[in-house]
Structure 1
Amino acid sequence: MQQVISVWVRDPRIQKNDFWHAYMDYEICLHTNSVFFTKKTSRVRRRFSEFVWLRQKLQENSLLLLQLPHLPPKNPFFSLNNAQQVADRMKGLQRFLEKILQSNLVLSDSCLHLFLQSQLSISKMEACVAGKTSFTVAQAVQSCGLRRFHSEEDLQRDLSVFCDSDSDSSECRDPGHKTRELTLNKSRSAATLDLRGTCQEEMLS
């Protein structure tokens, strides 16, 4: 069976850090039957600065054996309210992901999987890959989207795995019906939650 990896960058949203500072993040949707992915469908939100981090880490980890495609250039006059600029950047980010996902060397990189299928912050992704967290890369990917939570302690109590929500974007997201279902299950018995759930930000220039 031919392996297919489909990725979309869409739904740009302006997020506010405070009254004076805002940024834009994008939803990354992935559908695949590739053996490189244990989770076949996922949705996360990432900002431009996280794309920059990803490219840098992939280039370092490939030991310069692979020339990665470029990200959309930074525009000093980029405006969150300019629909054309936002659309052009979003298309550029999607083309970047589509190209890197064609490389088996990149597909074997844990940083890519955490970027695409978890909502961990950059610092948490680096710590996880370095083995400095209480959870593995696989656990971070699998747990993303199981339920909404506000601290690592909450998730440890229920699942003994983590999916960090303190990234620059927002907490792990899940379709409404799945969230309601998980909430109902939790009210019945938190102990019945397992790892079978699936997971269905950009620096201002």
Structure 2
Amino acid sequence: MQQLISVWVRDPRMRKNDFWHAYLDYEICLHTDSVCFTKKISSVRRRYSEFVWLRQKLQENSMLMVHLPELPPKNPFFSLNNAQQITERMKGLQTFLEQILQSPLLLSDSLLHLFLQSQLSMSKMKACAAGRTHYSVAQAVQQCGLRRFHSEEDLQKYCSMSCDSDSDSSECRDPEPRLQDLAMNKAASTALLGLMGTSQEEILSCSSDST
């Protein structure tokens, strides 16, 4: 019987590295009945550079046995205020994930599961997959919280809604949360107001540990 793996890339949000440098991250929503996943419904946030890292690591780990699909190209003129460019990048990222999730070999890679179902940084994903952390891959995945989808009914409601919905996204916590990063994100929220055009309350609720 065919197994379902559905993935969405949506809800771009602006983050601040510091006062001068900002970037976008995107929500990755996954719903599956595949035996390859212990967690059937999940939602995490990742940025473009993490997709680039994932593709490189998957290619290395597969030892060139699989030809990985391409990511949307890095655009030197990419603008955080250009809605069309952002939409095109999101579509490209989603297509990339949809294609790699069709490969049984790639589905066996722990890094892919950590990327999709934990909010670990790139260095910690690598360490966890190599067994160099005090938590296992399964523990990192299970510890990742989920607030968007609480049941399959919630998922069906989401599927029937427009992808333009701006409902609150889930946030996952690194097993070793970095309080200093969280504090920096909150401190930067005032500067984000003018760029995002959203309320301060929404920005503070979206503080993320992603890197």
TM range (shorter): 0.7 to 0.9
Give % identity. Answer: 75
Displacement of 1:2 after TM fit? 2.1
Q: CA RMSD in A?
A: 1.9
8 Å contact from structure 1 (residues 54, 115) kept in 2:
yes
Displacement of 1:164 after TM fit? 4.2
Structure 2: state its 5+ residue gaps.
Answer: 148-173, 183-209
CA distance in 1, matches of 2:74, 2:177: 27
Give the match for residue 86 of structure 2. Answer: 86
1:53-202 map, 5 Å: 53-145=53-145, 163-166=175-178
TM-score, normalised via structure 2 length:
0.70
1:68-111 CA-to-partner distances (Å, cap 9, x unmatched) read 00000000000000000000000000000000000000000000
In the superposition, relative to structure 1, how do residues 38 and 87 fare at CA in structure 2: closer, same or farther (>3 Å)? same
1:43-54 map, 5 Å: 43-54=43-54
In the superposition, relative to structure 1, how do residues 80 and 165 fare at CA in structure 2: closer, same or farther (>3 Å)? farther
The ranges of structure 1 where at least 4 consecutive aligned residues each deviate by more than 6 angstroms after the TM superposition are none
Equivalent residues, number: 156
Identify which of structures 1 and 2 has the higher relative contact order when contacts are C-alpha pairs closer than 8 Å and 6+ apart: 1
CA distance in 2, matches of 1:146, 1:82: 30
Structure 1: state its 5+ residue gaps.
Answer: 148-161, 171-200
SS of the aligned residue for 2:142 comes to helix
Tell me the amino acid that sits aligned with residue 21 of structure 2: H
8 Å contact from structure 2 (residues 42, 146) kept in 1:
no
CA distance in 2, matches of 1:40, 1:129: 20
SS of the aligned residue for 1:25 comes to strand
Tell me the amino acid that sits aligned with residue 130 of structure 2: A
CA distance in 1, matches of 2:5, 2:65: 22
In the superposition, relative to structure 1, how do residues 164 and 92 fare at CA in structure 2: closer, same or farther (>3 Å)? farther
CA distance in 2, matches of 1:38, 1:137: 11
Displacement of 1:165 after TM fit? 3.9
